[in-house]
Structure 1
Amino acid sequence: MAVIRSKEFKADHAWGAKNIANMSGITTRLHWTDQPYKWHINDGEEVFVVLDGQVEMYYRKSGTEESVVLEVGDIFFATIGTEHVAHPIGEARVLVVENEGSV
């Protein structure tokens, strides 16, 4: 049992994470960042939830780059093969649910 106050979490580096759960190979992690990540494709599906701040999520759809600004409470679902990169606007805290060991 745990209570995690996401707004109080701050990592010592961009995209640092607090491991919350591993349920049969599916991980739930709380990330803090103030820097963009890198373009990547996960090894499966990914659920990305903005808990604090804003994130501009860039993704490629049919070879075209698009983006959407995610606000607190917004969820980005990356299907298998979705190339994407998250760019926080200032500091952000996000909850990521994905396969264990995914990029």
Structure 2
Amino acid sequence: MSNEPIPLSKALASFDALWSPRIVTRVNDYDVRVAKVEGEHIWHVHDDTDEFFLVLDGELHISLREASGERTVLLPQGAVFTVPRGTEHKPYAPSGAAILMFERAGTSTVGDRHDEIPDHVDATIGHALNT
């Protein structure tokens, strides 16, 4: 990890892959990841950890399956949302977005339980940032 400031615009400009987060830094046992997203991710669950989203650019939708039923939250640029652990969810960005995620180091992008993984989704625990 860098001990210098990291401009998020530079971090995002360093890669093109969609749904393939880069680890910008680490805070204690948590990764701060940035990703470019467009289209749909998959339904998945993180059994033991929450997942924090901040929309840096564009708009992100997150569908949730909760005890009360299914709903979708809309996150415009600058909005934050935390998906509680154990909640089945599916992020999607019809027009594309840049996002920052804060989640426990080692957390898989496709969760602990998930649908079949399509080719456009990178099943990873995050990639090192090469700026």
Query: Shorter-chain TM-score: what band?
Result: 0.7 to 0.9
Q: Which residue of 2 aligns with 1:4?
A: 7
Alignment of 1:18-57 (within 5 A): 18-42=22-46, 43-57=48-62
Question: TM (normalized to structure 2)?
Answer: 0.70
Structure 1 outlier segments of 4+, above 4 Å: none
Report SS of the residue matched to 1:14: coil
Question: TM (normalized to structure 1)?
Answer: 0.86
Question: Are the counterparts in 2 of residues 39 and 84 from structure 1 also a CA contact under 8 Å?
Answer: yes
Rg larger in structure: 2
Q: Which residue of 1 aligns with 2:76?
A: 71
For residues 60 and 7 of structure 1, what CA distance do their matches in structure 2 show? 35
**Which one has the bigger strand percentage?**
1
What percent of counterpart residues are identical? 27
Structure 1 unpaired stretches of 5+: none
- Deviation per residue, 1:11-59 (Å, 9 max, x gap): 3321122211122320000111112111111230111111100111100
Structure 2 unpaired stretches of 5+: 109-131
